Amino acid sequence: MIKIIKLIIEEHREFRSQIMMLAKSDLIATYRGAALGWAWAFVKPIIHLAVFWFAFTVGLRHGKPVNGFPYLLWLMAGFLPWFYMRDMITGGASCIRKYKHLVTKIKFPISIIPTFTSISNFAVHIAITTVTIIVFCLFGKFPDIYYLQIPFYMLLMFVFYEAWSLFAGMLSSVSVDFLNLVKSFVQALFWMSGVIYNVDKIHNPTVRVILKFNPITVISGGYRKAFIYKEWFWEDKVELLGYTTTFTVVFLLALWAYSKLRKEIPDVL
């Protein structure tokens, strides 16, 4: 395992300039050809939020203020990391297939592909985060010391989905069935995570603990801690244990997949 980690680090060091160049290219290609162009990075999240706000506030009449914040802001805080995570769950799993020409036509390290894909999506996430903070300010909710946690949760999110993309991307390269399975589970993951509800209010303690081993729940809840609840990340030990455990498993699986499949993938693709 140590040998594989050193290999991945060395590949990233050697190709560090290409990583940023390819991330920029991936970002441009995502919105190229669309009439609204870059605006789609904001239009899709706005539509998503508007639908859920209408459903819960107008339709179900459950959209009450949370901790003194309008329900819309509570929704925004939880949805903010979800858009990145959603794109990385499916985009990470398909990234090596998407850029198979880098693997089959030139000698390019496979471990680099998930990295520049993640950076590309992360740039959009930073832009949406900036807009979200501006919206909070327009509602009179200005940044405070708890906002210092946002970069921390960004880091947790980035490293987890970097590991996920390497693992899932490798497996999806040798099995289309795995890629289809991942795509079919995205909606299930959304509803089984704390994106639109507070996990701490679930009465069943076993279910509550299990959900806190879901990184989506931990990160979405972490953003709400910074924006809404004004709590520190170290206050919930179960969440920290859950994230650390799940990340360790995915990280080890990524290393295993890379050690076993990196030489076979060019032939398979």
Q: Contact at 8 Å (CB) between 223 and 155?
A: no
* Domain locations along the chain: 2-268
Measured CA to CA in angstroms, residue 141 lies from 110, 119, 126, 227, 230 at distances of: 44, 29, 19, 9, 12
Q: Contact at 8 Å (CB) between 157 and 247?
A: no
- Specify the residue for token string 């919930």: 236
Q: What average pLDDT does the segment 30-44 reach?
A: 62
Q: Contact at 8 Å (CB) between 232 and 146?
A: yes
Helix axes 215-224, 149-174, angle to 10 degrees: 160
> If pLDDT is split at 50, 70 and 90, which confidence band does 84 have?
very high
Q: Contact at 8 Å (CB) between 114 and 91?
A: no
| pLDDT digit string, tens, across residues 175-206 | 888 889 998 888 888 888 888 888 888 888 88
Q: What is the pTM of this model?
A: 0.89
> If pLDDT is split at 50, 70 and 90, which confidence band does 171 have?
very high
> If pLDDT is split at 50, 70 and 90, which confidence band does 136 have?
very high
